[in-house]
Structure 1
């Protein structure tokens, strides 16, 4: 069984970037292999589901969708979306490390110290889309790889899920490096019996210090971190294989099916079997209905960018 469609973005020739502008009534659940998606709503709104979280995306809002995230969208009104995909295997960052990062880049969750970086990401997306859709001579000479690297630098430097605002930059760097090491090891060995003692020895620190360290992260504890990773991997097996709940529980390192149910319900707010049945029903009733408008959106984008910058400029001086 392969319930979730794998969609390969249409990358520009010899580049790591794909740009698309479209309207959509609905997008069936899908994911993108080794590419991250920056999705910006130009017009209208839509109900948006990423893995276990349902939310709205409205005009002027941005959200990123990671390379393993299962997501879908539906809307009852007029809308227009700008989508930029980046092939994570072809950026300046090492894929072997990058694949284990968790990002949190969404307008509705943007913190004050992230606002400028968020604006820069949106500006880069809009400028790239305008050049691609309406300036073919400029598009041919554009260094798309540099644009990709600039987007990824903003994402990595400002929107890691476990970024901590109240640390100095040097403290934040050390904090981030340690947590990346721990997360990478956990994602590589989630099937095994991992203990906090193992991780402490790996980082050359004592268990109590590591426990206090993890309390400062988005996970809050070692147990919650480990079981989140296991549930995330379990979701992929639930939706892309015919394996039984017991088999998936065993494959993902849970000590029992009961323990698997407990933690899956804690994070996903549903049981593993309920999630599988929900997606089966949803996919059968919601085929993709979308219209590509990339090459006809140049004039709209030019006017949109002008209005956006006027609003920002006046907003800064209180007009």
Structure 2
């Protein structure tokens, strides 16, 4: 993440930027960083994972490891929240390896809006409101608490486990077990990992674990193939390695298996993905001091709470 045009909020694990989009060049975050892109007014095209959809005013989307870019042909104003997840590692030991999907917009395959989308929108608007008041230092503890509650929402309701299972809620112990599994595989995705290795690590039998993963997630093989395909994004974007070399780097047994897995999850081939994303390197952004969106945020806050009252 570039520090240019990004404002750190006190000593908290939160930074923001306010900008207008024409073209935002290709971005990828390191593990442990979560960005939430909030469209304040106008419309913005958001592209990641070979998908593209429109963010309208009041809508938002999260992005962590995935490569993405933004585009707009009209007037817009956006704010990005950057949350340093590693500040919450003591509370959530596996957070570096967790992945999140939160598409707070109408163009999504998941149920929207849910009570958790509305809750998150309210927290984001409140954070902006407090910061724009110009006394962030006096409200540092409050900002820290709201940021922490945003992370809690992501861990409990926007983990990729829930996205893959098509749920918005899950028993806390079951979700925690699934998150343990993702973390174990995320740490070892390039190795030859077996179901028995994972079962031994968790102190479970292989048969029980296999049934558990099929019931509550997407099964051992598909989960591992997803993690490997997702990690391959970095190599496709940031290196000149061949598809065969990337396949080996990410732990696939052969390039055909990599090709099949990538196409399942991204609806395109690795080569098509590389060709689409690496060409989006032009950057036409205008960054602003956050105070310029104060009236827009006030209007969003009023609209948000009117909608909550009516419901």
The TM-score range, normalised by the shorter chain, is 0.7 to 0.9
Greater Cα radius of gyration, structure 1 or 2: 1
- Paired with 1:267 and 1:214, the residues of 2 have a C-alpha distance of 18
Cα distance, 1:95 vs structure 2:
6.7
Contact 2:10 2:136 in 1 (8 A): no
Cα distance, 1:151 vs structure 2:
1.2
Whether 2:6 is the aligned partner of 1:7: answer no
- Paired with 1:166 and 1:261, the residues of 2 have a C-alpha distance of 28
Is there any run of 5+ residues in structure 2 with no aligned partner, and where? none
- Paired with 2:169 and 2:229, the residues of 1 have a C-alpha distance of 33
- Paired with 1:243 and 1:185, the residues of 2 have a C-alpha distance of 26
Deviations 1:41-80 (CA, angstroms, capped at 9, x unpaired): 22222221123332222222221112x2211111112222
- Taking a change above 3 Å as real, the CA distance of residues 303 and 252 of structure 1, as seen in their structure-2 partners, is closer
Contact 2:26 2:278 in 1 (8 A): no
Contact 2:157 2:168 in 1 (8 A): no
- Paired with 1:269 and 1:241, the residues of 2 have a C-alpha distance of 22
Cα distance, 1:96 vs structure 2:
4.8
Moved over 6 A (4+): 164-169
- Taking a change above 3 Å as real, the CA distance of residues 104 and 278 of structure 1, as seen in their structure-2 partners, is closer
Instruction: Tell me the SS of whatever aligns to 1:29.
Output: strand
Whether 2:37 is the aligned partner of 1:39: answer yes
Instruction: Tell me the SS of whatever aligns to 1:55.
Output: strand
Give 1:302's match in structure 2, choosing from 257, 277, 298.
298
Cα distance, 1:37 vs structure 2:
1.3
Is there any run of 5+ residues in structure 1 with no aligned partner, and where? 1-5
TM-score, normalising length from structure 1? 0.85
Contact 2:19 2:288 in 1 (8 A): yes
| Map 1:75-86 → 2, pairs under 5 A | 75-86=72-83
| Map 1:81-160 → 2, pairs under 5 A | 81-91=78-88, 93-94=90-91, 96-108=93-105, 111=111, 115-133=114-132, 135-136=133-134, 138-142=135-139, 143=141, 144-160=143-159
Q: Report the count of equivalent residues.
A: 301
Contact 1:193 1:253 in 2 (8 A): yes
Instruction: Give the CA RMSD over aligned residues.
Output: 2.5
